[in-house]
Amino acid sequence: MKTYARRDGDGWILNGSKMWITNAPFAGVAIVWAKVKENDVVGGPESIRGFLVDRGTPGFETPTVHGKMSLRASATGEIVLTDVRVPEGNLLPLAKGLGGPLACLNQARFGIAWAALGAAKACFESAVDYCRNRVAFGVPIASKQLVQHELVEMASEIAKGEILSLHFARLKEQGKLSPQQVSLAKRNNVHAALHIARQARALLGGNGILLDYPAIRHSMNLESVFTYEGTHQVHTLILGRALTGCDAF
């Protein structure tokens, strides 16, 4: 994290930048996480604080990211901070260190675990309907063994993902859900959903690349989901550390 904040009288001065920020081009307010700089020395992770920055504040810019081929309906941009001054009241008082941003990440990651299954189900249901109605050599392709195998695999992965997420949701309600379990749900469900989208695209044949069907759109979007809120590989290392006690980062 290169963004830093230094105290200036009764306020703070922010400098730095953030990339891949959803809604940055039009958001009215941004929550910016920054390390605190004291005596020209930028602190470590323990110094991280959160700040509210209003649009229109001098030095606050949000250029749009162009050319995306995934999550194209989402306005994504950058946040650039050049000597941005915010009052003391814009400092989040209870968020200190990595606990603040990581708490947000855990909430987002668990939501993604569910959302990915929604994309997977849309692809699966579209594939089932298509295979029932697509006739080849006088019979629906749904009557073919290899097609049924693919559909059964897709349905099985969706069912397992739903059971996993439901179990973890019940733990969450009890305050017992660990960050490692959130990583497990995000990693498993997104990986399964991406594979299901690709399977559906293949079953749809050439039609699979058309926007008339949901497979290619979800497949492209899930490529981003596979990466954001912790990459698949990062969640692998989180779980590996939890299982072995050895840090492989």
Question: Which pLDDT belongs to residue 104?
Answer: 84
In a shared domain, residues 111 and 195: yes
Catalytic site residue 153?
no
Question: Which pLDDT belongs to residue 246?
Answer: 96
Q: Is 126:214 a contact under the CB 8 Å cutoff?
A: yes
23: CB partners within 8 A, 6+ apart: 74, 75, 77
Answer with the one of 79, 95, 111 that is the final residue of a domain.
95
Average of per-residue pLDDT values in the chain: 96
Q: If you write DSSP's letter for every residue of 29-85 in order, what string do you get?
A: EEEEEEEEEETTEE--GGG-EEEEEETT-TTEE-PBP---SSSTTS-EEEEEEEEEE
Domain range for residue 123? 99-244
Question: Which pLDDT belongs to residue 49?
Answer: 96
Q: What is the mean pLDDT of residues 168-196?
A: 97
Strands 41-42 and 11-22: unpaired
Of 38, 88, 223, 229, catalytic = 229
Of all residues in the chain, the percent with pLDDT exceeding 70 is 100
Question: Which pLDDT belongs to residue 102?
Answer: 83
Note whether residue 172 is domain-resident: yes
Question: Which pLDDT belongs to residue 40?
Answer: 87
* Short-list 30, 31, 29, 35, CA closest to 49: 35
CATH number of the domain within which 211 lies: 1.20.140.10
How much is the pTM?
0.89
| Residue 103 pLDDT grade (very low, low, confident, very high; cuts 50, 70, 90) | confident
Q: Is 62:27 a contact under the CB 8 Å cutoff?
A: yes
In a shared domain, residues 63 and 143: no
| Residue 39 pLDDT grade (very low, low, confident, very high; cuts 50, 70, 90) | confident
Note whether residue 249 is domain-resident: no
* Count of the separate structural domains present in the chain: 2
Q: What is the mean pLDDT of residues 160-187?
A: 97
In tens, the pLDDT along 118-162 reads: 999 999 999 999 999 999 999 999 999 999 999 999 999 999 999
In tens, the pLDDT along 195-245 reads: 999 999 999 999 999 999 999 999 999 999 999 999 999 999 999 999 999
In tens, the pLDDT along 40-63 reads: 899 999 999 999 999 999 999 999
Say yes or no to pLDDT of 101 above 90. no
d(CA 55, CA 31): 11
Say yes or no to pLDDT of 105 above 90. no
For residue 209, what is the DSSP state?
G
In a shared domain, residues 205 and 173: yes
In a shared domain, residues 68 and 43: yes
Our CA angle for 246, 248, 249, nearest 5°, is 130
In a shared domain, residues 119 and 30: no
